[in-house]
Chain A
Amino acid sequence: MKMKKVRKGITIFFLVILLAVILIPLYWAVVLSFDRAATTTLPPFSLTPKEFSLFNYEYAFKTIPLVRLYINTIIVTVTNTFISVFTAMMCGYAFAKGKFALKKVWFLFMLAVMMIPFESRMVPLFIQYRNWGLLDTWAPLIFGSFAYVYGTFFAKQNIETIPDSLRESAFLDGAGEWTIFLRIIIPLSKPLIATLSILQVLSNWNNYLWPLVTIKSTEKQLISVGVAMFNAQQDNIYYGPRMAVAVISAIPLTIMFLILQKNIVQSIAVSGIKQ
């Protein structure tokens, strides 16, 4: 018994040390972002800033339209998450409970998309949007979310477990499929909707390649691309301002994670374990 306790103590000690090592880069970035001394030379590691100041943040906000980038990213992320999760629920419901012609064919039509990586169709897609005159708008960033294939697959599996008796009794009361979907299926699927939304927010927030390619004006750009551009402009120096920008762009997801940690960890684990 004592042996077991000692072993547990050693494990916890080791895990704490390793966790500290892993998180130190993030901590140091926060320290540097508040350090007036971190501009053209990199100060050695310290637990607190040498010269505490907000200069780096002021500089960052002055140099790039951070607020604009922020608002853009939030609008695009929220829009995409809403559209993609709602359409995934619609498709998931139809494929789980519906009886209609070619159902199996359309389901395969959707699943097959999982094997086409986005990158292999990026160039023609770019040209398509250019021909439609929609480059440098948010259309290319948003239109794709009307089909969320992984979400559809996931929603179908979950909606299948909802008993048919609920649908049947609503049906006898004269409800149509849309009423059933909105009044019964959606309210019963809250955990599923939460999981899909979390996965969508995470993937949207870090989206980089596609906005980089399709959006040229800075005032329409998203935070990930804006931050990388700022970084490249600083010519590998101005450490403090670069860290300030890094901190600012990482804050929303970090806060969301710390508030919803249990749900997020659960969502990620479930999405991996189902395979």
Chain B
Amino acid sequence: MKTKKITKERLKTELVWYSFIILSLVTLLVLTYLPMLTSVKYSFYDVSVLGYGETFSGFKNYSLILQNPAFHRSVGNTVVLALMSLLSIPMGFVLASLINGLGKGKTQSFFRVGYYLPNIVTGVSVILVFQVVLKSNEGLLNNVLSTFTTQPVSIGWLSDSNFAKFGATIISVWGNLGYAMLINLANLQSIPSEIYEAAEVDGATPIKAWIHITIPQMVPCFSFLLITNIIGGLARFTDLFILGGNTSAGRPGGTLQTILMFIYQFSFETPQYGIASAGAMILFAITLAITMVNLKLTGFFKKDER
């Protein structure tokens, strides 16, 4: 009789705790795990016409996609664009060092907020603005360059396939600089000041202290920004999609088509779900590998065991 009562009590507390988490668990099961498994399945099936039967086709989708020159190009574009965008990290670090050097106060928070502003505005509207700023004729950037070089400049930053990657990088660095600055600044301010005091006693100049103390202390911060930037870069889509006039063609001339735009094209423009799913799996594998390396480097697994 007594044991029965205890189990009943026990069951009740279990149910109470489960009532806190069940909603999220079901959501993840239905909206994340299930579609993910379907994605894996589709990547091995011929599903050109959905609903009219899917036939198992082994690795056909993978071999098709891996032989597709457009896919190679989109992978290449994505990697090059992701690497070029990393410029925001060193720039953000230098900026954060300068702002940090001002010492805490109103001036510092003014710059912190001011430089962060572009990151808030980032989104569709910024793309519209930069379409005008980076225009070949009468664009702001070309006008400035003309003034400095005293000869007319009309580079098609977003319309010439030789320059489009630079234009796209200007947009991404402009949008990410504030974030990189903010994270760098927060990490700079968490370096214990005793280290600097000791260095000053030893007669180190500020520049020397910056090179020998600050930079080594900031390595975890740099690797965090590096990984998040690369993962974000792999999934780059919105800005380049809008630049191409709301198509996934990656205009000009396919130079701005990323992996995700390739997947979008085979999902919604010329639907071939098998191909799209194989592409999604490849993107997932790359992202997963980078995430794992990151978690290993930051000691995430160790922390969890504790």
Contact = CB atoms under 8 A, between A and B. Distances in A.
Contact of B263 (A45, A87, A119, A268): A119
A101 interface: yes
Contact of A123 (B224, B242, B273): B273
B152 to A, nearest CB: 13
A197 interface: no
Interface string A33-58: 00000000111110000000000000
11 contacts: A25-B133, A26-B117, A28-B133, A98-B20, A115-B291, A120-B36, A120-B284, A124-B34, A128-B34, A147-B23, A254-B117
B31 to A, nearest CB: 6
Interface size class of A (residues with CB under 8 A): 35 or more
A129 to B, nearest CB: 9
Contacts of A176: 16
B28 A273 contact: no
A125 interface: yes
Interface stretch (B79-87, B160-168, B192-200, B274-282): B274-282
Contacts of A98: 17, 20
Interface in B119-154: 119-133, 135, 137-140, 143
Contacts of B101: 8, 11
A99 interface: yes
B36 A94 contact: no
B237 interface: yes
Given A22-B177, A246-B125, A121 B36 contact: yes
Given A14-B98, A110-B28, A123-B39, 18 more contacts: A29-B129, A42-B132, A42-B135, A87-B23, A95-B21, A98-B20, A117-B284, A120-B39, A121-B39, A123-B280, A146-B24, A147-B32, A209-B238, A232-B246, A247-B125, A261-B113, A268-B182, A273-B183
Interface string A195-224: 000000010011011000100000000011
A261 B109 CA distance: 10
B3 interface: no
B270 interface: no
A124 B38 contact: yes
B120 A254 contact: yes
Interface string A154-170: 00000000000000000
Interface string A235-257: 01001001101110110011001
B128 A231 contact: yes
Nearest to A30: B129
Nearest to B231: A117
Given A15-B99, A24-B140, A239 B132 contact: yes
Interface of A: 8, 11-12, 14-15, 18-19, 22-26, 28-29, 32, 41-45, 87, 90-91, 93-95, 98-101, 106, 109-110, 113-117, 119-128, 143-144, 146-149, 152, 176-178, 181, 202, 205-206, 208-209, 213, 223-225, 227-229, 231-232, 236, 239, 242-243, 245-247, 249-250, 253-254, 257, 261-262, 264-265, 268-270, 272-273, 275
Given A25-B130, A110-B28, A253-B120, A273 B23 contact: no
A43 B242 CA distance: 23
Interface residues of B, number: 95
B49 interface: no
Given A123-B277, A243-B129, A206 B39 contact: no
B268 interface: yes
Nearest to A140: B31
Contacts of B183: 268-269, 272-273
A272 B99 contact: no
Top 7 closest pairs, chain A to chain B, by CB:
A124-B38, A246-B125, A94-B20, A269-B186, A124-B35, A120-B284, A100-B17
